[in-house]
Structures are given as structure tokens and as C-alpha cells.
């Protein structure tokens, strides 16, 4: 019954897309899943700024639906869930694109770039994405094959990290167009930020003088929240802080919680689980700490900077494209002591913390506003024949 209802929803949305004005060009956009995540939020922003007189998008999901399904459907954009084996999904996707009349394809993640191979022979302009360092977010088993497939079916590769742009350019030689376009983030008005801060700190039982160190993200090995805990452990030896980890468990929470217990930090570090609107929680923080081993362009850091919250981060992905060390935040190697030194400096010096947060917010306003960045992405979809 559930499958039949989902098929009905998919078909009705797809039929609406086919009935849209002929002046709007059909474009097929594919993403792996609709769970909580920065990539999904970026897709939502991309679609929000879609000119519907020029483009008629259909979004295909190769994995699972989730949180972002409803918001995207509310944009009056159809969502089609592909089913079955990988080969069956490829066949479905090709069939839908033929029916849609799509001559433009945009893959939103490296592991869905391979769907461009299913469109061979249809004269479709194929754009792919790389949202992490190189090919590190591809499955480890048969990674060489996944890496080949993620490149073979596309003519343009979009990287949200300059480091990744260099890696992909070296891999593709002169056969692909490889461009760097950063993530986009909306800067909320100051009164909203204050309201979110007051509401969350009240909910958390924090006074205005309490120092909150926050980490947000999936609790998985790559995010290395054990390092986050180690940093907090060093900081509390010198200054009292409260620490929060907010994110859904993706296989590492038990280990991180055990580490908290081993270090005697149960009264210092709290786990909030998945927070649907984490950017509201971020406003409550005094220091945002990213402890990851691997990232592309972390949305949570952009959101913290946009909220005027000073960030301390490991040197991962495109973090150097986002944070100007010492001015808009602090970047450290994968070193607990160095990270702790920066967190400690911000925790004991409100003047420094305020200045860094102010510079960070201004940097986001200058360089990462959706209007400009999203227009660059939509411009990539154009081909000479469209004019």
C-alpha cells in the first residue's frame, strides 16, 4: 500500500512536470538522499532560486526520502524516488528523462554522477558535483570503479572546495570542465539571531555568562567527535565551559559517549541528537568547534560564521576558503592541543570572540550569499543551443 501511494505521488508530480510550459527547459536533478544534511540544504537553496520561466526541474532520489522531501515539493517541484537495484534505477532514470525531454542533467553528489552514463546517446548536457575532498565520500569497496564512473558520465564537474577542484582537474586532464563554486548561506537578521540565542540558551539552562562550545554533525567516525571531546577535556582544565554535540547517530555515538565517560565529562558534554533546524541552535553557541577528519565545504561552519559565532576548525577540505585564520576564525592541524588553545583563547576573551564573530559574519555577507552563487550554478546548466 505504501509503495502504491508513493508511486502515485511520483507519477502525479512527474505528470505535472510534463504539462509545464514548453518555454521552460526540462532539467533532471539527482541526489542520493533527502535526509538532514548540508548537501540537501544546498539543493533546496538552488531550487528556491530557480527561474521557472527558464527551467522545469524534476528531482530524482536514488536512495531514501526524508526531511527535505516536503520542503522541495512545496516549491512545486516533482520528486521521483528511484527503486530497485542500481541497474534498475539507471534504467528508470533514463526512461524518465526521455519522457521528461530533459537535455540538461545535474548530479548533486559524486556518487550520483554515474547516472550520467545512463544518458549516453541522448545528447544531454551533464553536470556532476564533488562535495567532499576528492573521491573520499565514494564507497571504499571498488572505489576505483566508482571514481571512474563519477567522472565518465559528466562533461562539467562542480567542486565546492579549491582543493577538490585541483584534484579533479588533475584526474580529468583536459577532458572536463572543472569549476569551483562555494556553498551558499543566508545571513539572518540580527534580531532573529538574538531571539534564537535567547530561546535556545533558556532551553539549555545556560546563563549569558556560561560559555557554550558546540559541535554539529552526523555522529560518525569521519566527524571525529572523540577529538571534540578531547579538546573540551583540555579546555575545562583551565576554564569552565559547557559542550554540546548535536547530530544523528551514524555509527559512532556509543564510542563518543564512552569516551566522555572515560574522561569524566558526563556533566560537561551533552548529546542532543538530531536537531531539525541546527542553525537556530548554533546561535546559542559561544564557540563552534569542527573536529572532522574529512569535509568538503562544511555548511555548519558557514552557518556559525553567518550567526557571528567564532569557529575553530581542523584543516579539512575547503575550510581555508572559508576561514581567514586569526581574523574570521581559527584553523588547526589535526592536533587536540592546538585546537584547545584556540577554544581557550575565545572562551576567556569576550572581546576577541566578539571581534572574530563580527568579521566572520561580514565575510559570509561578502562572499557566500545565495543570489550570486546560485546564479553561477544555474548558468552552468546553459548550453550554446539554449540561446
pTM: 0.83
Which of 128, 127, 136 minimizes the C-alpha distance to 163?
136
What's phi and psi for 346, nearest 5 deg?
A: -70, -35
Sequence ranges of the domains in the chain:
2-184+370-386, 190-367
- Return the number of other C-beta atoms located less than 10 Å from residue 312's C-beta: 27
2-184+370-386 has which CATH code? 3.40.50.2000
Distance CA(249)–CA(15), nearest Å, equals 37
According to CATH, the superfamily of the domain at 190-367 is Glycogen Phosphorylase B; (3.40.50.2000)
What's phi and psi for 71, nearest 5 deg?
A: -55, -40
Q: How many residues does the chain have?
A: 387
- Return the number of other C-beta atoms located less than 10 Å from residue 147's C-beta: 16
Pairing of strands 177-180, 156-159: parallel
Give pLDDT tens digits along the chain (387 positions): 334 334 444 544 555 555 555 588 999 999 998 887 788 989 999 999 999 999 999 999 998 898 899 999 999 999 999 999 989 999 999 999 999 999 999 999 888 999 999 999 999 999 999 877 655 555 666 555 667 777 888 999 998 888 888 888 887 665 788 999 999 998 999 999 999 999 999 999 999 899 999 999 999 999 999 999 999 999 999 999 999 999 999 899 999 999 999 999 999 999 999 998 899 999 999 999 999 998 878 889 999 999 999 999 999 888 988 999 999 999 999 999 999 999 999 999 999 999 999 999 999 999 999 989 999 999 999 876 665
What's phi and psi for 127, nearest 5 deg?
A: -115, 135
Fold match, 2-184+370-386 / 190-367 = yes
Amino acid at each position: 500500500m505504501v509503495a502504491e501511494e508513493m508511486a502515485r505521488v511520483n507519477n502525479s508530480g512527474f505528470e505535472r512536470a510534463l504539462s509545464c510550459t514548453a518555454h521552460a527547459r526540462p532539467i533532471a536533478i539527482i541526489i542520493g538522499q533527502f535526509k538532514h544534511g548540508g548537501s540537501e540544504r544546498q539543493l533546496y537553496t538552488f531550487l528556491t532560486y530557480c527561474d521557472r520561466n527558464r527551467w522545469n526541474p524534476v528531482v530524482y532520489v536514488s536512495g531514501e526520502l526524508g526531511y527535505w522531501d516536503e520542503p522541495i515539493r512545496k516549491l512545486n517541484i516533482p520528486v521521483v524516488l528511484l527503486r530497485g537495484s542500481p541497474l534498475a534505477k539507471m534504467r528508470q532514470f533514463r526512461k524518465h528523462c526521455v519522457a521528461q525531454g530533459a537535455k540538461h542533467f545535474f548530479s548533486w553528489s559524486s556518487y550520483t554522477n554515474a547516472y550520467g552514463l545512463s544518458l549516453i546517446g541522448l545528447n544531454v548536457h551533464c553536470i556532476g558535483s564533488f562535495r567532499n575532498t576528492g573521491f573520499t565520500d565514494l564507497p571504499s569497496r571498488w572505489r576505483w570503479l566508482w571514481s571512474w564512473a563519477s567522472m565518465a558520465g559528466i562533461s562539467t564537474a562542480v567542486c565546492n572546495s579549491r582543493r577538490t577542484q585541483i584534484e579533479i582537474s588533475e584526474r580529468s586532464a583536459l577532458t572536463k570542465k572543472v569549476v569551483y563554486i562555494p556553498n551558499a548561506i543566508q545571513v539572518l537578521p540580527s534580531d532573529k539571531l538574538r531571539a534564537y540565542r535567547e530561546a535556545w540558551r533558556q532551553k539549555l539552562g545556560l546563563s549569558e555568562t556560561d560559555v557554550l562550545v558546540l559541535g554539529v554533525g552526523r555522529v560518525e567516525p569521519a566527524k571525529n567527535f572523540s577529538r571534540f571531546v578531547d579538546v573540551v577535556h583540555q579546555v575545562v582544565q583551565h576554564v569552565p565551559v559547557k559542550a554540546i554535540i548535536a547530530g544523528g547517530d551514524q555509527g559512532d555515538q556509543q564510542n563518543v559517549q564512552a569516551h566522555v565517560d572515560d574522561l569524566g565529562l558526563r556533566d560537561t558534554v551533552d548529546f542532543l541528537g538530531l536537531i531539525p533546524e541546527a542553525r537556530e541552535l548554533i546561535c546559542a553557541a559561544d564557540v563552534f568547534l569542527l573536529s572532522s577528519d574529512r569535509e568538503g565545504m562544511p555548511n555548519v561552519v558557514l552557518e556559525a560564521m553567518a550567526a557571528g559565532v567564532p569557529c575553530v576548525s581542523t584543516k579539512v577540505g575547503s575550510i581555508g576558503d572559508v576561514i581567514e585564520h586569526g581574523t574570521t576564525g581559527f584553523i588547526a592541524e589535526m592536533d587536540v592541543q592546538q585546537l584547545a588553545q584556540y577554544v581557550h583563547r575565545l572562551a576567556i576573551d569576550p572581546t576577541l570572540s566578539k571581534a572574530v564573530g563580527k568579521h566572520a559574519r561580514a565575510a559570509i555577507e561578502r562572499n557566500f550569499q545565495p543570489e550570486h552563487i546560485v546564479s553561477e550554478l544555474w548558468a552552468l546548466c546553459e548550453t550554446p543551443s539554449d540561446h
